[in-house]
């Protein structure tokens, strides 16, 4: 038995493994969240993120689109997983962020936080920091909105 025929096979398998690991991020998805003055489907809902709840995979990207001026996106201290990168976008500017750490992320529009303009992104299973995120104090309308969004985490 000779080993000369197995060397190219082993080399080919190693190359395939490297290429596959490099290409894996290419399967990541980008999700869009609009920052709006009014919900186009229900004009009574003002100052919203649409959608306000997302469930994504690690490595996915969320693009916040400034559909109306005067909004931004900012992570809420105490509502993101340990080791995750906090963020704060500029007002009226589109913003992208890639989520690599699994967990639940609470975010807000800085100018409209007290009015309840908040959102939640669940990365992976999202349960690691859910209790900590739920226990974080927020303004009354924001707290009510977060409560409804957190209910979707376990669904």
Rounded to whole angstroms, how far apart are CA atoms 44 and 131? 31
Question: Sign of torsion, CA 27 104 140 109?
Answer: negative
| Burial 99-126, CB ≥16 within 10 A → b, else e | bebbbbbbbbbeebbeebbbbbbbbbeb
pLDDT at 7 over 90: no
pLDDT at 92 over 60: yes
Q: What percent of the chain is predicted at pLDDT more than 70?
A: 83
pLDDT at 113 over 50: yes
Structure tokens of 87? Answer: 């963020």
Rounded to whole angstroms, how far apart are CA atoms 7 and 20? 20
pLDDT at 112 over 70: yes
Task: Count CB-CB contacts under 10 A for residue 79.
Answer: 25
Rounded to whole angstroms, how far apart are CA atoms 151 and 140? 17
Rounded to whole angstroms, how far apart are CA atoms 70 and 85? 24
Q: Annotated binding residues for Cu cation, as ranges?
A: 71, 109, 112, 117
pLDDT for res 106: 98
CATH label, 28-153, candidates 2.60.120.200, 2.60.40.420, 3.40.50.300, 3.30.1180.10: 2.60.40.420
Structure tokens of 153? Answer: 């985490």
Rounded to whole angstroms, how far apart are CA atoms 78 and 18? 37
Q: Annotated binding residues, as ranges?
A: 71, 109, 112, 117
pLDDT at 51 over 70: yes
The residues spanned by each domain of the chain are 28-153
């Amino acid at each position: 038995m000779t080993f000369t025929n197995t060397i190219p096979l082993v080399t080919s398998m190693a190359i395939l493994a490297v290429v596959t690991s490099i290409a894996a991020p290419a399967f990541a998805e980008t999700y869009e969240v609009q920052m709006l003055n009014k919900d186009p489907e229900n004009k009574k809902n003002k100052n919203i993120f649409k959608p306000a709840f997302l469930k994504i995979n690690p490595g996915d990207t969320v693009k916040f689109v400034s559909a109306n001026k005067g909004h931004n996106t900012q992570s809420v201290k105490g509502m993101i997983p340990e080791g995750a990168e906090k963020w704060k976008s500029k007002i009226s500017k589109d913003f992208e962020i890639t989520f690599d750490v699994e967990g639940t992320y609470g975010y807000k529009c800085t100018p409209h936080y007290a009015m309840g303009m908040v959102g939640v992104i669940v990365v992976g299973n999202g349960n690691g920091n859910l209790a900590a995120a739920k226990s974080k104090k927020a303004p009354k309308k924001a707290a009510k909105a977060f409560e409804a969004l957190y209910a979707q985490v376990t669904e």
